[in-house]
């Protein structure tokens, strides 16, 4: 059982810490922001929103939240250009992991994060691989007082995907699913939140919901219906994984239900 969230000094409850990775509009992020410290997502604070795209509106949602949520940005191509010939895509992923771990998360949510993360990223968050020392002038890594960010327990990483398990893995799943349904190639569509593993969108499904669709209806009406389901299940799944790693005391859970 992971350490309790109770503060030993005064018995208060330490908020569970959530990091959210985004690339775009951030409506799923907004659902999480709105759910913080409600019975849907109790005793939980988003401590960092990280985007791989500078123009992601989700960054504005975070900075406009009350209280404002710290944000960070690191784009793959700018990173590779700034380190031309010296850094790889995996190095980028490890830098993302370093930024994320610096926020000391209890769980990580990919909420429209349009970047395939490497095995190395996942291994670092599982505590199975150490981050490389941060490159600085003079001494390397631990010798220069760099804090050890290695997590003591595996940090769950989950992802919201607008398709059913095994359906339309990867990007553009909404359009691909819609087109397949209208062509009569599939008879149902939906959304899921799943654990993130190296194989894209093939991690254990945590919550799966079908989304009704009608022949001939415009994609816009289907997509709106789909997003509304996403906004529910992303909160439910996040609470579930937080309860796995940082369960709340039973008396707090019961008080929440009142
Ligand atoms: N290793 C994993 N990484 C990610 C997963 C996963 O399950 N395992 N989930 C995805 C989210 N995702 C679908 O849910 C997804 C996002 C992006 C892509 C993709 O092809 N990205 C391209 C870049 C596309 C772009 O920049 O527009 C890429 O990374 O090269 C596929 C699936 C998050 N990551
Ligand atoms: N393969 C990943 C993927 O397609 N994710 C999808 O991107 C959208 C992000 O919307 P948002 O930025 O408004 O939350 C969501 O529909 C999410 O399922």
Alpha-carbon torsion (135, 139, 145, 147), positive or negative: positive
Q: Whose CA is nearest to atom 11 of ligand 2?
A: 26
Q: Would you call the peptide bond into 132 cis, given omega within 30 degrees of 0 as the criterion?
A: no
In three-state secondary structure terms, 96 is helix
**CA dist., res. 222 & res. 211, Å (int):** 8
Expressed in angstroms and rounded, the spacing between residue 251 Cα and the centre of ligand 1 is 39
pLDDT at residue 252, rounded to an integer? 75
**CA dist., res. 39 & res. 215, Å (int):** 37
Q: Which CATH class is domain 16-129+152-251?
A: alpha beta
Question: Which candidate, 12, 36, 13, places its Cα nearest to that of 246?
Answer: 13
pLDDT at residue 1, rounded to an integer? 37
Ligand 2 pocket member 162 (CB < 6 A): yes
**Ligand 1 pocket test, candidate residues 75, 110, 115, most atoms within 8 A of CB:** 115
Ligand nearest to the CA of 20: 2
pLDDT at residue 2, rounded to an integer? 45
Main-chain phi, psi angles of 79, to 5 degrees: -65, -45
Expressed in angstroms and rounded, the spacing between residue 39 Cα and the centre of ligand 1 is 31
Question: Which candidate, 132, 101, 118, 91, places its Cα nearest to that of 196?
Answer: 118
Residues with CB under 6 A from ligand 1: 110, 113-117, 159, 161, 170-171, 196, 198, 200-201, 203
Longest dimension (CA), the chain: 65
Main-chain phi, psi angles of 178, to 5 degrees: -60, -50
Ligand 2 pocket member 230 (CB < 6 A): yes
pLDDT at residue 34, rounded to an integer? 98
pLDDT at residue 251, rounded to an integer? 78
Provide the pairing of β-strand 205-211 with 16-22.
Answer: unpaired
Q: Tens digits of per-residue pLDDT, 95-114?
A: 999 999 999 999 999 999 99
In three-state secondary structure terms, 109 is strand
Ligand nearest to the CA of 173: 2
pLDDT at residue 94, rounded to an integer? 98
Expressed in angstroms and rounded, the spacing between residue 2 Cα and the centre of ligand 2 is 31
Expressed in angstroms and rounded, the spacing between residue 136 Cα and the centre of ligand 1 is 31
Q: How many helices (H) and strands (E) does the chain have?
A: 8, 7
What residues act catalytically?
A: 161
**Ligand 2 pocket test, candidate residues 53, 162, 166, 226, most atoms within 8 A of CB:** 162
The residues of the chain scoring below 70 in pLDDT are 1-5, 137-145, 256-258
Q: Tens digits of per-residue pLDDT, 172-189?
A: 999 999 999 999 999 999
Ligand 2 pocket member 60 (CB < 6 A): no
């Amino acid at each position: 059982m992971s350490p309790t969230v109770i503060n030993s000094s005064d018995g208060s409850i330490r908020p569970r810490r959530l990091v959210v990775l985004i690339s775009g509009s951030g409506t799923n992020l907004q659902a999480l922001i709105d759910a913080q410290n409600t019975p849907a997502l109790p005793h939980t604070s988003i401590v960092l929103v990280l985007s791989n795209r500078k123009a992601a509106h989700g960054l504005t949602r975070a900075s406009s939240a009350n209280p404002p949520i710290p944000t960070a940005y690191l784009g793959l191509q700018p990173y590779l250009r700034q380190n031309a010939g010296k850094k790889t895509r995996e190095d980028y992923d490890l830098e993302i992991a370093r930024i994320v771990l610096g926020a000391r998360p209890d769980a990580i949510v990919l909420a429209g994060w349009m970047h395939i993360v490497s095995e190395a990223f996942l291994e670092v968050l599982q505590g199975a691989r150490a981050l490389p020392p941060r490159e600085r002038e003079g001494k390397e890594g631990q010798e220069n007082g760099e804090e050890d960010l290695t997590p003591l327990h595996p940090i769950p990483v989950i992802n919201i995907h607008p398709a059913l398990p095994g359906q339309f893995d990867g990007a553009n799943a909404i359009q691909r699913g819609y087109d397949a349904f209208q062509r009569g190639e599939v008879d149902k569509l939906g959304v899921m939140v799943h654990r993130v593993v190296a194989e894209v969108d093939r991690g254990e499904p945590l919550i799966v919901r079908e989304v009704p669709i009608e022949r001939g209806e415009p994609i816009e009406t289907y997509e709106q219906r789909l997003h509304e389901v996403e906004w529910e299940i992303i909160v439910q799944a996040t609470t579930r994984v937080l309860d796995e790693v940082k369960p709340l005391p039973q008396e707090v859970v019961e008080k929440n239900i009142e």
